[in-house]
Every structure is written in C-alpha cells, then in structure tokens.
Chains A and B, each alone.
Chain A
C-alpha cells in the first residue's frame, strides 16, 4: 500500500513538473527581445486603438482598421522574407483578428449608407477593394512549398485567411 501511494505521488509530481516546464514563463531577456521586435508595431497599434476609441462612425473605424491592417502587413512581409513561421503565424493571426473583428463588422455597418451616389460610396468601395487586394496579395506572398508553407501554424493561419477573404468578398 505504501509503495502504491509512493508511486502515485511520484507520478502526480512528474506530471506537475512536466506541466510546469511546458508552460514555462519567459525570462526577462526573452521578454525584452519580444518587446524590441514588436516595439514599432505595438506603438502603431496602440495609436490605432486610441483613434478607434474616439471614432464614432463605422466607416472611420473601418479606415482605422485598414491602417492597422497595413501596419501588420508590413511586419508580416518582413517575417515572410525572414522565413520565420512562428512570426508569420503570430502576425497573421493578429491580422485575421483585426479584419474579422474590426474591419468586416464596420464595413457591414457602413454598407447601408454607402449607396451609389452617396458621399461615402467611393470611400467605401476604395476601402473594400484595397482591403481585399491586400489580403489576396499577402496570401499569395506566403510560399506554399518550403518550410514556411509546411508549418502547421502557417497552414492554419492561411486557412483562416481564406475564410476571412471570402467573408470580405461577400460584403456587397
């Protein structure tokens, strides 16, 4: 009985230690490296956030989301050039979040007022087209066959992009 209990305690402790290792926290140096890698992007996105907080019209919010999308695209291009699947997936997922939860809902909200001949029609059309084109261009720029394309994270990200592009295209 004592042996069984000892073994059980040992197994539980080993599982706990393994869980701790899997979710290990970053060191100060690793955190600093993350901040330095993303400092410009974080700054841009915080400013977009402040602007979004003060924007009361859907088209203005959509435009701000489009700008955030543009900043993420620039960072993404760098990650694609560097063949860094982790960073491509991370930034790609953030792009999806901004487009899915920011740009698309606001374009949908703006659509009823953006009728042909209205003051916002051209603005809406331009915004919609440039967003769709940007998503298409980004998707085409991710290599499908090399290490980047084989990454399961990147594959999942591209699958999400496909859904997002489809949803964006359906806003008519």
Chain B
C-alpha cells in the first residue's frame, strides 16, 4: 500500500501523468489500484479540459479551490522541518537584535562623549577661607609698598577683617580661638597701625589728619561692635572681645593724637 501511495504521488509529479516513465508504467500495468488511480486521473483531466475557462482571476482561484478541496487529493504535502546547525540560521536569527544593541550603545557613547566631563562628575569645590585669602592679599600689597599712608590703609583693613572673623564665630568658637584672634588684632593695631602712623610725613599735616582719622573711625566701629557683642556673647568669648575692644580704643586714641601732631 505504501508502495502504491509512492507510485501515485510520483505519477502526479510527472510532466504528463498519462505518459509516465517506464518503471512507473510497468507498475501501473500490474497494479489494479494504481491503474484505477490513473484512470480516475484521466477522467478528471478530460473533464477539466472540457470546462469553460473562468474569465476573472477571482473566478479561477475559486474554481481551483473547489477542485482541490473535494476528494482525496492531497492539497499540500507538509515538509518535515529539520533544525540542523547552520551559520546562516544563526546569523539571520541574531543579526537584527545585535545590530539594534550595537546602535543603542553607539548612540549612548556618542551622547557620553558630547557631554562635558564636568557635567558627568563635577569636581567638588569647597568654600575657601575668606580671612586667609584677605590676609594673603594684604601681605602681597604690603610687600610692594613703602608708603606709610598705603600701609595704614592695608593694616586698617586687616584689623577690620580680624574683627569680622571674630563676629562671625563668636557664638560657637572656644576661648582659645577667640583669644588667638584678639592677639592678632592687638598686634596689627599696636605693631602695625600705630607704628606706621608715626612714620607719616609730619610736613603734610592735612594728609596725615585725613588718613589717621579714617583709620580711627574704623577702630571706633570695632569698639562699638565689641561693646554690642559683649552683652550677648557666651561667657568664654567675653575676655577676647574685651581685649579687641580695648586694643581698638587705645589704638584710636593714639592715632588721633598722632593726627593732631602729638606724640604717643
């Protein structure tokens, strides 16, 4: 039976199933079933040839469908799907996902390269110590001038910077830090400011008067600051604040005396 099925399929595969190859013809001659199959085929082929040809493509398709859907004719012989190893198969299965991944990485790298490094990981820049910066700047200025008037202005600013630092930290700083600031303040006023005031040209009293009065006003402002601070400052801060206030007061007195042309 299996042999007849194979023969009949081969018959249908012939260019003209009614004129098969010699070995098929020999079998058909001996086998009643295959001979009957061949006869039925011949009948159907004649009947088909006698039919009027459909005029439209849709009609032709409908007709073909009606022929193949009726009877025992095999409409399609399913082929066995064999999954053997194939580089081409692997390529076709993976090419698109790989290409998409590569494209995404390329786009990401492009964006990364275009973004400035500083935006990727900005360097932390700490706030710098303002008093240190000002003292350095004052030193640089003092290193370049021999004019007592200019020196007095710089030293007055330096004293004011020390006062400002004291005000900024007075509530939190321990006595040691505040005393250190007070010592520096005293040094700037006594060893710097008053000494330079004594160097001012005595032949230019108007200039001397103006410069020293301006410096004395700044020392007076410090006195006022310290007096105001002492009222509310923590106990440990009071000695240092008093020292700064006293240094400012004594320095002011000396400057005003020098301004008037009196000795100190």
Q: Which residues of A contact B (CB under 8 A)?
A: 26, 28-32, 34-39, 41-43, 45-50, 52-54, 56, 61, 64-65, 68, 85-87, 90, 94, 97-98, 100-103, 105-106, 151-153
Do B158 and A152 touch (CB < 8 A)? no
Among residues of B, the one whose C-beta sits closest to the C-beta of A62 is B143
Complex Cα spacing A152 to B121, Å: 12
A-B contact pairs, 23 of them (CB 8 A): A28-B171, A30-B127, A31-B165, A32-B173, A35-B129, A35-B173, A35-B177, A39-B177, A39-B180, A42-B131, A42-B135, A46-B158, A46-B187, A49-B138, A52-B139, A53-B196, A65-B143, A90-B128, A90-B129, A94-B136, A97-B136, A101-B144, A103-B143
Q: A53-B195, A97-B137 are in contact. List 15 more A-B contacts (CB 8 A).
A: A26-B127, A42-B129, A46-B184, A49-B158, A50-B187, A50-B192, A64-B143, A65-B139, A68-B139, A86-B124, A87-B126, A90-B126, A90-B129, A102-B139, A152-B118
CA of A46 to CA of B141, assembled, Å = 13
Seen from chain B, the residues whose Cβ lies within 8 Å of a Cβ on chain A are 118, 123-129, 131-133, 135-144, 146, 151, 154-155, 158, 162, 165, 168-169, 171-173, 177, 180-181, 183-184, 187-188, 191-192, 195-196
Known: A42-B135, A90-B129. Contact between A28 and B124, CB under 8 A?
Answer: no
Q: State A106–B126 Cα separation when bound (angstroms).
A: 32
Q: Which of A28, A32, A46, A49 contacts B177 (CB 8 A)?
A: A32
> Considering the chains assembled together, what is the distance between the CA atoms of A103 and B125 in angstroms?
28
A151 touches B123 (CB 8 A): yes
Q: A159 to chain B: closest CB distance in Å?
A: 16
Q: Among A30, A50, A98, A151, which residue has the most Cβ atoms of chain B within 10 A?
A: A50
Taking chain A's interface residues, is the majority helix, strand, or loop, or is none over half, making it mixed?
helix
CB-CB < 8 A to A30: which residues of B? Answer: 127
A32 to B169, CA, bound (A): 6
A37 to B180, CA, bound (A): 13
A97–B145 alpha-carbon span in the complex (Å)? 15
Chain B residues with CB below 8 A from A103, complex form = 143
Chain B neighbourhood of A41, CB < 8 A: 132
Complex formed: what's the CA distance from A53 to B144 in Å? 9
Q: How far is the CA of A105 from the CA of B146 in the complex (A)?
A: 13
Count chain A CB atoms within 10 A of each CB in B143, B146, B184 and give the residue with the most: B143
* Chain B residue with Cβ nearest A105: B144
Given contacts A45-B132, A50-B192, A86-B124, contact A97 B140 (CB under 8 A): yes
